[in-house]
Copies of this chain bind each other. A is one copy, B any other.
Amino acid sequence: MSSIRAPRLDDVASQAGVSAATVSRFLNNPDVVAPATAERIRQAIAATGYVPNMTAGALAGSRSRLIAALVPDIAQSLFNDTVEAMIEKLAEEGNSVVLALTGSDNHRLDAEINMALARRVDAIILTGIVSDPETRERLRAHPLTVIETWGLPDEPIDVAIGFSHRAAGEEMARFLRGRGYRRPHLVVPRSTRSERRANGFVDRWVRDGGPEPTRLEVNVPSHFGQGRLSFRALTDLAEMPDVVVCGSDWIAQGLIVEAQAAGMRVPDQLAVTGFGNLRLAGDMRPTITSVDVDGSHIAREVIRVLRARAAGDNVEQRIDVGFRVIARESA
């Protein structure tokens, strides 16, 4: 491989008989150059095999076209649909996504935020909750677009796109009460949002005159196996519940499988609900009653906000995309 220098903007420019500035303009905004010039540049690019250097472009233009997405994990995450949709849509406009994993601990979050700042990303998308007030302040101080997704904090760092988890919990309580259930049991992943939903559920349930629901906490990320364990843990309760409200569809699925293996009929002897409305919720036997959150809707709003910001337009601080209880067979 005779290491010839990779072609630069200059090479294309001289090849096309124009200045580098014109080629740059063509690349970033084809319409501003005269059609004939554009054509010559196009040919020069093809002839030289030019591939732009976005690093140089980012430095000169102070616009990296890089978006940082900070998520707790991707192995088992409700956010994957959102993230996937976001990446796809951003790619269409020449943006790339740097995916960083924060786990559920604050230390890594901070490190990843620093990395994002160092890379001069155009925006940071958060899916986990940033609980540390200091970090929130630091982020708020930056003239950077920061989008919190899936939640809807009272005071967003910058922009929040999501829904009220408390309301979702309340709505599920209302729904199950309407269906005539009496003794709910909650399986709650140890995450801020799950807890918020659980609290919403309990408050509403009790306010409506129901007995205080029993409750089991499980680790995050939640998964199928925990559902099975959670079913077995039911035997520790003084009284068997008639419906188990699970923090995720995976837990619900595992719980159903274990219940059936134990010879119980779902929902007749034990009803179950999930959360997230993953594809499997509709596919399971019985199909799982769940709470739907439209991940691609969130992604769409993210894109809209990013575009608005780029155009200098104002943006709402809190965007509620809502949720829907999806009634199916399991409860």
List chain A positions with a Cβ less than 8 A from chain B.
1, 3, 51-56, 58-59, 64, 66, 73-76, 80-81, 83-84, 87-88, 91, 94, 96-101, 111-112, 114-115, 117-120, 141, 143, 223-225, 228, 254, 257-258, 260-261, 279-280, 282-285
Point out the residue from B58, B88, B112, B254 that lies within 8 Å of A101, measured CB to CB: B88
A-side interface mostly = helix
CB–CB A225/B282 < 8 A: yes
**Do A283 and B224 touch (CB < 8 A)?**
yes
Are A261 and B279 neighbours in the complex by a CB distance under 8 Å?
no
24 A-B pairs (CB sep. < 8 Å): A3-B143, A53-B118, A54-B118, A54-B119, A55-B55, A55-B64, A73-B84, A76-B279, A84-B101, A87-B99, A87-B101, A88-B101, A91-B112, A96-B98, A96-B115, A98-B99, A99-B99, A223-B279, A224-B279, A224-B283, A225-B282, A228-B285, A257-B285, A260-B260
Chain B residue numbers with a CB within 8 Å of A91 are 100-101, 111-112, 115
Which B residues are in CB contact (< 8 Å) with A225? 279-280, 282-283
Q: How many copies does the complex hold?
A: 2
* Bound-complex Cα distance A84 to B59 (A): 29
Which B residues lie within 8 Å of A284 (CB)?
Answer: 224, 257
A96 x B84 contact (CB < 8 A): no
Query: In chain B, what residue has the closest Cβ to A116?
Result: B96
- A74-B74, A260-B260 known; 19 new pairs, CB 8 Å cut-off, are A1-B141, A51-B117, A53-B59, A55-B119, A55-B120, A73-B84, A74-B80, A74-B83, A75-B80, A75-B81, A91-B100, A91-B111, A91-B112, A96-B100, A97-B99, A98-B99, A223-B279, A254-B283, A257-B257
